[in-house]
């Protein structure tokens, strides 16, 4: 059995593109639709009720456009809302949470760092996982204050963003961490900058490839493989700055670039 629907993705902005890119590399024959709710970023500063309301809007938007499954490409939305989304909708959801487990299992110094949003670090989900490993490993957390806003504002690769990032990393690196878990989907966009700002042997844990593998497993288990003989289409929507979204997609140097279309949902007040 197969299916002509599309894989839906949403994030509070452009961060989930790091997940979308990994899924697209692994499953190049699948149609995708991506919603960047950039006008409402950062989600990490909102309360759970507000986040859930936005997630429901995003999911309805994707389902109206033929999503057969949804990747919640946002740690904050996953930790705050995915249980409720699974209760409300019949299609499969894939979530993403800071990858504490693989980092904790591999850590030699028994100390790992997690850079994430306030919403994720405060969530019940996150604290449950952190607690689970707390006997063996020290999990040092840092809220990446300012990073999402700067990326959404088109400041990726800027000195200003580098300054903010450097401060966060300096705090984390005061502890003997040997793994740095990127607990927000925006942060893999910063990997080149992170590498320049950390010293010693610290492995950066980017969850994108394992989320892509999980997406593949869910597609197979639910018989959702794309049956459409046409070349797959990738539809990108943003409630905010479509230029920022486009520049990030273009930086991925995709072989499928001519199959990507962009639509702005920005509505000036
Ligand atoms: N990319 C989102 C995440 O993974 C950012 C959340 C936010 O907007 O604060 O958490």
Q: Per mean pLDDT, which range of 19-23, 43-47, 112-116 is the poorest?
A: 43-47
Dist. CA 198 → ligand 1 center (Å): 22
Assess whether pLDDT exceeds 70 at residue 1.
Answer: no
Assess whether pLDDT exceeds 70 at residue 54.
Answer: yes
Segment holding 114, helix H or strand E: strand 111-116
264 pLDDT tier (thresholds 50, 70, 90): very high
Q: What is the CATH number of the domain that holds 248?
A: 3.40.50.1860
Query: Which residue's entry shows tokens 């936005």?
Result: 54
- Higher-pLDDT residue of 207, 258: 207
DSSP code, position 184: S
Contact 65, 235 (CB under 8 A): yes
Q: What is the pLDDT of residue 85?
A: 98
253 torsion bin: left (phi>0), alpha (psi -120 to 50), beta (else): left
**What gap in Å lies between CA 222 and CA 3, rounded to an integer?**
10
Residue 269 lies inside a defined structural domain of this protein: no
Angle at 35 between CA 45 and CA 269, to 5 degrees: 65
* 119 and 152 both lie in a single domain: yes
Dist. CA 186 → ligand 1 center (Å): 7
* 189 and 226 both lie in a single domain: no
Q: What is the pLDDT of residue 42?
A: 94
* 186 and 258 both lie in a single domain: no
Range of the domain at 52: 6-96+209-264
Handedness of CA 76, 7, 129, 161 (dihedral sign): negative
**What gap in Å lies between CA 50 and CA 46, rounded to an integer?**
6
Q: Which of 185, 206, 227 is the last residue of a domain?
A: 206
Segment holding 83, helix H or strand E: helix 75-88
**Which tokens hold the place of 53?**
């309301």
Assess whether pLDDT exceeds 60 at residue 24.
Answer: yes
Cβ-proximal residues to 170 (8 Å cutoff; 6+ apart), any chain: none
Q: Which of 206, 228, 253 is the last residue of a domain?
A: 206
* 171 and 144 both lie in a single domain: yes
Segment holding 116, helix H or strand E: strand 111-116
Q: What is the pLDDT of residue 227?
A: 87
Dist. CA 2 → ligand 1 center (Å): 32
Residue 92 lies inside a defined structural domain of this protein: yes
* 30 and 84 both lie in a single domain: yes
Question: Is 41's C-beta closer than 6 angstroms to any atom of ligand 1?
Answer: yes
211 pLDDT tier (thresholds 50, 70, 90): very high
Assess whether pLDDT exceeds 70 at residue 181.
Answer: yes
Assess whether pLDDT exceeds 90 at residue 230.
Answer: no
Q: What is the pLDDT of residue 2?
A: 60
Q: What is the pLDDT of residue 262?
A: 96
Question: Is 95's C-beta closer than 6 angstroms to any atom of ligand 1?
Answer: no
Instruction: Name the domain count of the chain.
Output: 2
Tell which atom from ligand 1 comes closest to the C-alpha of 42. Answer: 8
% of the chain exceeding 70 in pLDDT:
99
Cβ-proximal residues to 166 (8 Å cutoff; 6+ apart), any chain: 197
* 84 and 172 both lie in a single domain: no
Residue 1 lies inside a defined structural domain of this protein: no
124-172 confidence digits (pLDDT tens): 999 999 999 988 999 999 999 999 999 999 999 999 999 999 999 999 9
* 75 and 64 both lie in a single domain: yes
Residue 227 lies inside a defined structural domain of this protein: yes
Tell which atom from ligand 1 comes closest to the C-alpha of 74. Answer: 4
Query: Which residue's entry shows tokens 């405060």?
Result: 122
**What gap in Å lies between CA 215 and CA 222, rounded to an integer?**
11
* 128 and 149 both lie in a single domain: yes
* 195 and 238 both lie in a single domain: no
Segment 11-17 mean pLDDT: 97
* 232 and 167 both lie in a single domain: no
Q: Which of 181, 206, 231 is the last residue of a domain?
A: 206
Question: Is 43's C-beta closer than 6 angstroms to any atom of ligand 1?
Answer: yes
Phi then psi for residue 147, to 5 deg, are -70, -45
72-97 confidence digits (pLDDT tens): 999 999 999 999 999 999 999 999 99
* 40 and 112 both lie in a single domain: no
* 68 and 192 both lie in a single domain: no
Active site residues: 74, 184
Contact 191, 204 (CB under 8 A): yes
Handedness of CA 234, 255, 227, 2 (dihedral sign): negative
Q: In whole numbers, what is the pLDDT of the chain averaged over residues?
A: 94
């Amino acid at each position: 059995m197969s299916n002509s629907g599309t894989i839906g993705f949403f994030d509070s902005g452009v961060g989930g593109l790091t997940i979308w890119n990994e899924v697209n590399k692994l499953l190049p024959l699948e149609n995708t639709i991506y919603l960047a709710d950039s006008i409402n970023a950062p989600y990490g500063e909102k309360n759970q009720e507000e986040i859930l309301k936005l997630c429901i809007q995003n999911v309805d938007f994707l389902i109206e456009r033929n999503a057969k499954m949804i990747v919640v490409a946002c740690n904050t939305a996953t930790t705050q809302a995915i249980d409720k989304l699974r209760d409300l909708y019949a299609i499969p959801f894939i979530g993403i949470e800071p990858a504490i487990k693989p980092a904790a299992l591999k850590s030699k110094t028994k100390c790992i760092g997690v850079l994430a949003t306030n919403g994720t670090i405060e969530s019940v989900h996150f604290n449950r996982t952190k607690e689970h490993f707390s006997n063996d490993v020290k999990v040092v957390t840092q809220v990446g204050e300012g990073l999402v806003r700067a990326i959404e504002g088109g400041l990726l690769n800027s000195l200003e963003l580098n300054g903010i990032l450097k401060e966060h990393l300096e705090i984390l690196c005061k502890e003997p961490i040997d793994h740095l878990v990127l607990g927000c989907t925006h942060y893999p966009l910063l990997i080149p900058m992170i590498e320049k700002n950390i010293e010693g042997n610290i492995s950066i844990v980017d969850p994108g490839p394992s989320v892509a593998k999980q997406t593949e497993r869910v597609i197979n288990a639910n018989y959702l493989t794309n049956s459409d003989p046409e070349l797959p289409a990738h539809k990108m929507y943003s409630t905010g700055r479509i230029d920022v979204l486009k520049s990030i997609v273009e930086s991925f140097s995709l072989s499928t670039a001519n199959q990507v279309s962009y639509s702005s949902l920005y509505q000036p007040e």
